[in-house]
Structure 1
Amino acid sequence: MTALTDRFSRAVDYARIAHAAQFRKGSHIPYIYHLLGVASLVIEFGGSEDQAIAGLLHDTLEDCGASHEAVIRTQFGDAVADIVKDCTDGTAEGKASHTDAEARRRDWIERKLAYLAHLRAASEQTLLVSACDKLHNARAIVQDLENPDVGTRVFDRFTGGRDGTLGYYQALVEIFSERVLPVARTLDAVVDMMHVLAGAGSRTALA
């Protein structure tokens, strides 16, 4: 059983303030929705309080800036900060440095391939948080694919487009399955549905 203390409550507030002006892609849903969803999945799959807090804060460096790392380390400890750092495939500052579409796509591919390589050797503590993040995102994509008002246009929101996004999620499934994470089975089923609804052929990993 995962016991949650005042640290978790403080982390919710930290995430709420850090992401206050942000929304989920293609929606008016406050970004905190995703962070709470990831933390909930971490708890569902047996994660610790440190992992649940990291679930709340996993996008802080990527979306709000690298300066948050030191603050998170001070307020929530090294274990949380290390997981958050491990779940980050690029900072807000780094992403902002690429201005044209082709540069953003090249950067996206490089970051995703580097992150996949990083996950193959990442700690089990990091893997659970990362997998729960990807599961929550994959479910959101499937939900949009099932919505006739959105459908395959959901992939227009992603730098990798349809094929890049599908390939990335397939690679994630393979890594999490190789590392024998229980959550991998659930993610695999969602990614399979994603491919079906996207009208894709064989499931080919990003490489």
Structure 2
Amino acid sequence: MPEEFTDTPLLTARFDAALHYATRHHARQLRKGTPIPYAAHILAVASLVLEMHGDEDEAIGGLLHDVVEDGGGRDALEEITREFGVEVAAIVAANSDTLDPDERPGWYQRKRAYVDAFADKSPAALRVSLADKIHNARSILTDYRTHGDDLWARFGQGLGLATRVYYRELAAAFERERDRLGPAAQPYVDELRRTVDAITAMAETHQGPDSRTLFDA
């Protein structure tokens, strides 16, 4: 099959600048418990956003989605607004657990608030969030298959119950919002559910049934 081309590329010099900004910000950061440069994650998120037919603002949001939360704070958000626009900054803000990394609430409070805000997130922000969570869930599943329950030590949560509950909450939240995500993103909602269910099934094999299914159950 011949290659496809376009006379109007979706990605411009703005994307190139955002990629440089993101890789510079995360240059010394590694994925939890691995030697993998954090850039692998932001590249994967941007890739998944584009596969969902996201526009350039969303792809840039994918590259920058962790800049504020991972130390940049409100100063970084203001810089992103100046350099890449209000729409990108809104996507980044919606995908940040906190805008003040030095004053962040506890883990449960942050994750609960993140899920509870889904109905107020824009479709663009939801697509970036979905891409982020799919890549994280895939990585968890792959490493769980490789390392077994030793995996959970990198999250500092014992045998990982809190993480599994959170990802089940995320899968359900995306399912509730699937119609707003657009047709190209909906298969990825199903992909997240399959991945989360596979993590749950593996945990049941290793540990028995989880004592909790969701935040309130």
Match of 1:57 in 2: 64
How far apart are 1:195 and its partner, in Å?
0.7
Match of 2:154 in 1: 157
Question: Counterparts in 2 of 1:1-207, with a 5 A limit?
Answer: 3-66=10-73, 67-90=75-98, 91-95=100-104, 107-147=106-146, 150-161=147-158, 162-180=160-178, 181=181, 182=186, 183-199=188-204, 201=209, 204-207=213-216
1:42/1:13 CA distance change after superposition, 3 Å: same
Percent of residue pairs identical: 40
5+ residue gaps in structure 1?
A: 96-105
Deviations 1:151-200 (A, max 9, x none): 12212222455111011000111110011141211100010111112225
Deviations 1:63-119 (A, max 9, x none): 122121011000000000000000001243234xxxxxxxxxx80001111111111
How far apart are 1:49 and its partner, in Å?
0.7
Match of 1:101 in 2: none
Match of 1:102 in 2: none
How far apart are 1:206 and its partner, in Å?
2.4
Q: What is the DSSP-based 3-state SS (H/G/I as helix, E as strand, rest coil) of the residue aligned with 2:35? A: coil
Q: Find runs of 4+ consecutive structure 1 residues off by over 6 angstroms.
A: none
Q: What is the DSSP-based 3-state SS (H/G/I as helix, E as strand, rest coil) of the residue aligned with 2:59? A: helix
Distance 2:157 2:123 in 1: 27
Q: What is the DSSP-based 3-state SS (H/G/I as helix, E as strand, rest coil) of the residue aligned with 2:28? A: coil
1:160/1:116 CA distance change after superposition, 3 Å: farther
How far apart are 1:21 and its partner, in Å?
1.1
**Is the deviation greater in 1-10 or in 67-76?**
1-10
1:185/1:166 CA distance change after superposition, 3 Å: same
Tell whether the 8 Å contact from 1:108 to 1:160 is kept in structure 2 after alignment: no
5+ residue gaps in structure 2?
A: 1-5
Q: TM-score, normalised by structure 1?
A: 0.89
Q: What is the DSSP-based 3-state SS (H/G/I as helix, E as strand, rest coil) of the residue aligned with 2:215? A: coil
Q: What is the DSSP-based 3-state SS (H/G/I as helix, E as strand, rest coil) of the residue aligned with 1:184? A: helix
Distance 1:45 1:201 in 2: 34
Distance 2:52 2:124 in 1: 12
Distance 2:155 2:116 in 1: 21
Distance 2:201 2:103 in 1: 34
Q: TM-score, normalised by structure 2?
A: 0.85
**What is the aligned length?**
195
Distance 2:41 2:139 in 1: 9
Distance 1:65 1:3 in 2: 27
Letter of the 1:119 counterpart? F
How far apart are 1:132 and its partner, in Å?
0.6
